[in-house]
Amino acid sequence: MVTLGDVAAAAGTSTTTVSRVLNGCGDSHRISARTQQAVTTAAEELGYRPSYHARALKAGRSNTIGLMCNADILSGHGQGYFGGMIDGLNSLVRKQGYNLLLTSDDDRHMTLEQGVIFWKEQRVDALITFGYIIERYMATNTPLAPDTVGLPLVLIESQWPLEYPIVSMNCASAINDAVGHLADLGHQCITYLLPTSSQADDRRSFFEIACKARKVEARIVTVDFPNDRQHDRWETIANRAKAIDQIWSQLADCPAVMAYNDHMALGFQLAAHNRGCHVPHDFSLIGFDDLYAQTALPPMSTISHGLQEMGQRAGTIALEMATSPDAVKTWNNRRETVEAVFIPRGSTGPCPH
Amino acid sequence: MVTLGDVAAAAGTSTTTVSRVLNGCGDSHRISARTQQAVTTAAEELGYRPSYHARALKAGRSNTIGLMCNADILSGHGQGYFGGMIDGLNSLVRKQGYNLLLTSDDDRHMTLEQGVIFWKEQRVDALITFGYIIERYMATNTPLAPDTVGLPLVLIESQWPLEYPIVSMNCASAINDAVGHLADLGHQCITYLLPTSSQADDRRSFFEIACKARKVEARIVTVDFPNDRQHDRWETIANRAKAIDQIWSQLADCPAVMAYNDHMALGFQLAAHNRGCHVPHDFSLIGFDDLYAQTALPPMSTISHGLQEMGQRAGTIALEMATSPDAVKTWNNRRETVEAVFIPRGSTGPCPH
DNA sequence: CTGTTAGCGCATTCAG
DNA sequence: CTGAATGCGCTAACAG
C-alpha cells in the first residue's frame, strides 16, 4: 500500500507537508504553491489514499454511523422497511462525510450487544436501531441507561420509553383519513383486523376515535396465527388466510376492512378470494406499511410510514450525537415524530349494500 | 475509553501480558493461571474491548468484507434481491470472525470508485459487488485488470467476462422445468415476454431450446417501457401494463406467458385484468426472480434465484481472497454457478383451449 | 514466566 | 515556509 511517506518521497518533501496539503491546511500554513502542486500530483499518480484505521486511531473517531438490525429485518418481512430506511439515511450521512456501517446479526438475541461492542471498539461513532431490538434485549437484561453507558444511540419506533432519542411514526391523522375515505364511499361499518399478538394498540385507538367521529360502526376482530414467521412469505399469507377463514363469520357482513398491515390484508384478500369474494367489489380493503401494497392486484390502498424521512431524522440526530458529545445529553429523551400518510389506490370502493 | 493499559494497571501487570492472555496465547507463553485470572476479571470488570482501528492498523487487515451496491438496489426493485443476498452472506462471514460492511452510494455512477477507495483505505479486505455496477463503470472507464489493481473482488451476475471470479445463476434447467410444467398442463404455445432493453439473452435462448424439445410453439414478444424506474413500484407496474396493453394483439391468442421477471409478470396480469382476463383461468403466468411472486394473488409460479446460496458462494470466495493473497490469483477468472429453481404456485393452470 | 521496545500510518506540536 | 519528533492503542520481536 502507498503511505504518506511514499508520497513525501515522490514529492521530495516531508510527511508533515504532505499531510497538510492533502488536508487542505496548506494555505493556512503558507506552503508554497510549487510544493503543493508537487504533493498533489505525486499523491494523484501514486493513487494515494489515507489509511482509514490510522486516521481513525489518531482522531479517536471513525466517521461511521452504525445501523443495527437482525436477520429478521433483512430476509423476512422487513426487507422493504429496511430498504426505505437506508434510502433516506445513506444519502444524508454521506453528505456529511460519514459512512454507514450496516450490521445485522444472525443470532437473534445478540444484536444490541453486538452494537455496543462495535461502539466500544470505536468502529462507529453513533448507533441507530429499531425499538424492537431493544425491547427484546430488555426482556432478559437490565436496561441500558444512557448516562452510565455513554452510548450515542437513536431508536426507531420504540414502544418502551427509554431515555434515548426516539423517532417514531404518528399514524393518527393517516388513520383518520383512511376511515374518512371509507366513510365517504358510503361505508357504515369498518372492521379493524389485527393479530392477537399485536402490540401497536395506538392504531386501534385511533381507528376507534376516527370511527366515532364519523359515526360509523367500529368492529375489532383479532386473529391468532400459528406457525408464523415462515421463510416463504407466501406460506405466511396462506397461513393467515387459513386463520382468517376460520373466523370468517365475524367478517362476512361488514364490507370494509382495515388491516394491521399489508401482509394481513393480503391474507384477508386471499381468504375472501377463496370464498369467491373480491376486492374492491365485495370488500374495500386498506393495508398498512406500503411494503406489499404496491405490487398487489388491485393495487392496495394503504398507510405509508414515510420511511425515508424517518431515516433522515434518525440520521440527523445520530450525526449530531457523533459530532458533539454534548448533543448526547441534549437529545436523549427527545421524541421526534414523522407523519404517516394514507395512500388511496385501487382496493377501496363504494359500499356494496 | 478503556485501553490495554487500563486493564494492565488494574491487573497489576503489563500490556503485553494482557494482550497475550486476551488473545488466547496465554498458555503457549506459559503465563501463570493466577495472572491470567487477574487479567480476565479486570478486563471483564472494565468492560474492555480492543480498539478496532489500532488492531487493524497493526495487522494490516480489517477483517471486513465489503458489499457494494447502489441506491437502486436498496430502495428500488432490488430490495428483495439484496436482502436475500445478505441473508446468505452475513451469517457466513460472521462465522469466520469477519464483518460485513455494506456500502451503498447515492451517486449512481460512483459506486465502484467508492469501493476501490474503501479498499485502498484498508477498510475492507475484499469486495463483493454486482456485475451491472462494473458494467456501468466500464462504459465510461478503462477496465480494471486484477493483476494491476490487486483488488480482491468478487462479482455477482456479471455479463461481461472480466478476469475476476464471477458467481452467477444458471437458469437453463429451471426454464426447462417451467416450460415442461406448462406443456404438461396442455399448453401448445408459450409467449416469452421481455423488455426491449433486456440484456439477459440466455434466458430467451433457454426458453427457445426448451420449447423446441417439447414441440411447443415459442413466441417472443418484446415491449418497450417509457418512464421506467419509478419510485413507486405500483407506478412501474401500471406503466408496464399500459405498454403491454398496446401490443395486446400479439398476446391475446396464446394463453401461456413466461415473463422476464416478476415485475413484468405483474404488469401483464394487470393488463389482462383490465381486459377482463384472469390468471390462471384465461392465462397461465410464470414470473422470474421470486421477489414479488410470493405476495401476488394468486401466488405466482416463478423461477427463484437461490440468492442465499449465491451470497454464500460469493462470501466464501471473498473470504479466501481476503485471507491469503495467493488465493486472489487462483480465484480470478473462475466461474461459479448456482442453479435457479422453478417454483410452481397458483398462477399456472390447464390450457383453456 | 513476564516486561521493554519498537512500529503500524497518520496528524500535530513544537522548533527551526 | 518546512521538518523532526511524538503518540493514538495494539502486537510481536527480543530480552530478561
Q: Which nucleotide is nearest to B7 (CA to C1')?
A: D9
Mutation target vs A (from B6, B79, B142, B240; most A CBs, 10 A cutoff):
B79
Which residues in chain B are contacts of A50 at CB distance < 8 A? 121
Q: What is the DSSP string of B58-71?
A: HHT---EEEEEEEH
Q: What is the percentage of chain A residues whose pLDDT exceeds 90? A: 53
Architecture of domain A64-169+309-337: 3-Layer(aba) Sandwich (3.40)
* Nucleic strand D near CB of residue B58 (< 7 Å): yes
- pLDDT confidence band for A163 (50 / 70 / 90): confident
* Nearest CA-CA distance, residue B105 and chain A, Å: 8
- pLDDT confidence band for B207 (50 / 70 / 90): very high
**Would an 8 Å CB–CB cutoff place B148 in contact with chain A?**
no
Q: Residue A125: what are its φ and ψ, rounded to 5°? A: -90, -25
**Would an 8 Å CB–CB cutoff place A237 in contact with chain B?**
yes
| Cβ contact, residue pair B299, A51, below 8 Å | no
* Nearest CA-CA distance, residue B71 and chain A, Å: 7
- pLDDT confidence band for B201 (50 / 70 / 90): confident
The pTM is what? 0.85
Cα–Cα distance for residue pair A318/A331, rounded to 1 Å:
9
DSSP state for residue B305 in the 8-state scheme: -
DSSP state for residue B340 in the 8-state scheme: -
Q: Which fold has domain B4-50?
A: 434 Repressor (Amino-terminal Domain) (1.10.260)
Q: Residues 329..348 of B with a Cβ closer than 8 Å to A: which?
A: 345
Question: Residue type for B198, please?
Answer: S
**Would an 8 Å CB–CB cutoff place A113 in contact with chain B?**
no
Distances (CA, A) of B91 to A114, A132, B78, B104, B327: 14, 21, 20, 20, 22
| C-beta of residue A101 within 8 angstroms of C-beta of residue A123 | yes
Tell me which CATH homologous superfamily contains domain B172-304. Answer: Response regulator (3.40.50.2300)
User: What pLDDT does residue B175 have?
Assistant: 97
| C-beta of residue A190 within 8 angstroms of C-beta of residue A211 | yes
- pLDDT confidence band for A139 (50 / 70 / 90): confident
**Would an 8 Å CB–CB cutoff place A106 in contact with chain B?**
yes
**Distance of A54 CA from C5 C1′ (whole Å):** 21
Q: Which nucleotide is nearest to B58 (CA to C1')?
A: C8
Q: Is the pLDDT of residue B228 over 60?
A: no
Q: Which residue, B218, B266, B220, B275, is CA-closest to B245?
A: B275
DSSP state for residue B301 in the 8-state scheme: B
In terms of residues, how long is chain B? 353
User: What pLDDT does residue B150 have?
Assistant: 80
Nucleotides of strand D lying closer than 7 angstroms to a protein CB: 1-5, 7-13
pLDDT, mean over chain B? 87
Kindly give the interhelix angle for A201-214 and A172-184, rounded to the nearest 10 degrees. 40
Strand partners, B336: B167
Of A79, A237, A263, the CB nearest to B80: A79
Q: Is the pLDDT of residue A191 over 60?
A: yes
Cα–Cα distance for residue pair A268/A259, rounded to 1 Å:
8
* Nearest CA-CA distance, residue B30 and chain A, Å: 28
**Mean pLDDT score, B79-87:** 76
Mutation target vs A (from B104, B283, B291, B305; most A CBs, 10 A cutoff):
B104
Cα–Cα–Cα angle for A207, A213, A214, rounded to 5 degrees: 90
Of B106, B121, B273, the CB nearest to A90: B106
C-alpha B142 chain-centroid distance: 25
Of B47, B102, B295, the CB nearest to A233: B295
Q: Is the pLDDT of residue A167 over 90?
A: yes
Cα–Cα–Cα angle for A302, A304, A309, rounded to 5 degrees: 170
Every domain of chain B with CATH number 3.40.50.2300 lies at: 64-169+309-337, 172-304
Characterise A8 by phi-psi region: left (phi > 0), alpha (psi -120 to 50), beta (else): alpha
Every domain of chain B with CATH number 1.10.260 lies at: 4-50
**Mean pLDDT score, B86-108:** 80
Question: Residue type for B115, please?
Answer: G
- pLDDT confidence band for A106 (50 / 70 / 90): low
Distances (CA, A) of B350 to A270, A322, B57, B249, B346: 21, 61, 64, 22, 11
Q: What is the pLDDT of residues B260-306, one digit of tens each?
A: 989 899 999 999 999 999 999 999 999 999 888 988 988 899 999 88
Q: What is the pLDDT of residues A10-68, one digit of tens each?
A: 999 999 999 999 988 766 766 788 888 889 999 999 999 999 999 999 999 999 999 88
Cα–Cα distance for residue pair A90/A261, rounded to 1 Å:
26
| Cβ contact, residue pair A57, B51, below 8 Å | yes
For nucleotide D9, the protein residue with its alpha carbon nearest to C1' is B54
